[in-house]
Every structure is written in C-alpha cells, then in structure tokens.
Amino acid sequence: MTDLSPCGEMVRKGDPARFRTALFAPPDAREGLFALYAFNLEIAKIAPMVSEPMVGEIRLQWWRDSLDMAFGDGAVRRHEVVEPLAAIIRSAGLPRAPFDALIDARAQDLDLAFPKDIDTLIAYLRDTAGSLTLLAMRTLGGEANDAALNAGLGIGAARYLAAVPVLAAQGSAPLPGNIDWKALRDEGEDAAFAAQIDDLVAHARASIDSARKARGGLPKQTAPAFLEVPVANRHLAEIGRNSGEMTALTEVRSSPFRDNLSNLWRGVTGRW
C-alpha cells in the first residue's frame, strides 16, 4: 500500500492487525484511527525501551503534557503523532479520560512486580485495550462506552496471553499467582498457571459476550473498531481448551488471509 501517512506506516509495521481493521473505516475517519493506534504504539514501547522506571515516567509525562495541549485551544508540539492525534481529538470531540486511563495503566509496565493479582491484570487490560477501543469507536461516531471497554478487554486479553511466553522467556512473571515459571518452561505444564489462564479467559470471553449484546445499539460505521473481536474470541477459546500448557499460547496463530476475509464480511455487515 502506497502513500500512507507517517501514522499509517507506523501502524502498518507495528500493529498489522489494527492496521487491517482500520482499512474498513471510511477514508475520512481512517487517519483518525491511525493516529490513535500510533499513539498506543508510542506509549506501549516506552517500558521496553528504558532501563530505569524514572526515565519511563518522564516519557509518559511528556505524553500527558502533549495531551494537555491537544485538549486546549492553542498550538501543539510538532510531532508526527501528536499533531494528527490532536486533530482527531478536536474534530471528533474525543474524551480525555480514556487517554489518561491508558497512560496510567501503561505506567504499570515499569513495575517489575506487576501484576499482583488477576483483578489488577483485568483492570489493566480494560484501561489499555479497552480505552483504545472506546476511543476508536468514538472516532467512528459511536457512544456505547461499556460495549467498547468490554470488547477491548477481550481483544487485550487475547493479545496479552499471546505475549506471555515471550515475557516469561525474558524473565518476568506476566501472570499472578504461585506459578513455577521454570518448571512451566521445562515441562510445559503447571496447575497454578492453568488456573490463572482459565480465570482470565473466562472473564475475557464474558466481556466479549456483554459487548456483543450491546452491538445492536451501535451505528454500523463503528464496526472497524470491533473487527478484531471475532479473532480474539477464537484465540481465547483455543487457549482455554489447553490452558495448562505454555505451548497453547505459542501455537495459536493468526492467518492474515483468513482474518481479512472475516473482516471483509463483518465490515460489510457490521456484525462482529
């Protein structure tokens, strides 16, 4: 695809799943989604790039200050993401709270003890992927905030679980509980690990069910904000069937061709 904006190119490379779903949005709304998703990538990459939590906090504060400008009436920072982000904030009348929730939740990425329990992890997923889905929906003209937060939580859970093997291999403990991560890596199974997976999968799928019950009240044009839901739900179901095994997380694979066909049909019908 040629002639992408800087935000569009960033999302194409850094978040191909959301890039594909954004292509189903009307052209006049697509750049707004690219700006939101590029902002999310900028925030998400802070923790892996810094060696000290204080440096990460400073970078997060830079984005809070940038949002202060974007939600004001004056000029904003000259930056390839900040400028288009400010434009969609102002033109779509986006709310400030989801941006703050997303940044505050991402600050927990700097905490080596995160997550302390499953409720903390669920709140994190709701505040990150849920807030992003809410903002995407609002950009497309929807107002069902709870539906968006629930759908985003499901999407975020599927994405987070897919990243667990990588995070564990890097020495972190991405799931709470008394999990023997070394035994899990060596033997492939652990009862405490299975319990945490089952809990998170059940909560995430229930959230998706709640979101789907509310979709009738959403305008059809908001569908691109939710097109990752069916893929996430399918992945969660596959993980749930083999929850005690680390390999269950690594073996779930997304087919771009299959997902594009699914997105095409669901984008046209508005059914996700």
CATH number at residue 170: 1.10.600.10
Total of domains in the chain: 1
Residue 153 in any domain: the answer is yes
The Cα 95–Cα 243 span in angstroms is 37
Q: Give the residue ranges of DSSP H helices in 188-252.
A: 191-213, 229-241, 247-250
By three-state DSSP, how is residue 142 classified? coil
Q: Is 1 within the bounds of a domain?
A: no
Closest CA to 198 of 248, 251, 155, 152: 248
- Spell out the per-residue pLDDT of the chain, length 272, in tens: 558 999 999 999 999 999 999 999 998 899 999 999 999 999 999 999 999 999 999 999 999 999 999 999 999 999 999 999 999 999 999 999 999 999 999 999 999 999 999 999 999 999 999 999 999 999 999 998 999 999 999 999 999 999 999 898 888 899 999 998 888 877 767 889 999 999 999 999 999 999 999 998 899 999 999 999 999 999 999 998 887 678 778 766 655 556 655 655 565 566 78
Instruction: Identify the three-state secondary structure at position 252.
Output: coil
Work out the angle between the directed axes of helices 145-169 and 118-125 (0-180°, nearest 10).
Answer: 120
Task: Count other C-beta atoms under 10 Å from residue 34's C-beta.
Answer: 29
The encoded tokens of residue 8 equal 């569009």
Which residues, in sequence order, are bridge partners of residue 189? 245
Domain housing 144: 6-269
Write the CB contacts of 254 (distance below 8 Å, at least 6 apart in sequence): 17, 231, 235
Nearest residue to 89 (alpha-carbon basis) of 116, 71, 101: 71
Residue 216 included in any domain: yes
- Residue 100 to residue 61: CA distance in whole angstroms: 11
Residue 93: left (phi > 0), alpha (psi -120 to 50), or beta?
left
Query: Strand runs (DSSP E) across 67-216, as ranges?
Result: none
- State whether residue 189 is helix, strand or coil: strand
Distance separating alpha carbons of residues 152 and 226, to the nearest angstrom: 8
Question: Comparing C-alpha atoms, which of 61, 147, 156 is closest to residue 115?
Answer: 156
pTM of the model: 0.93
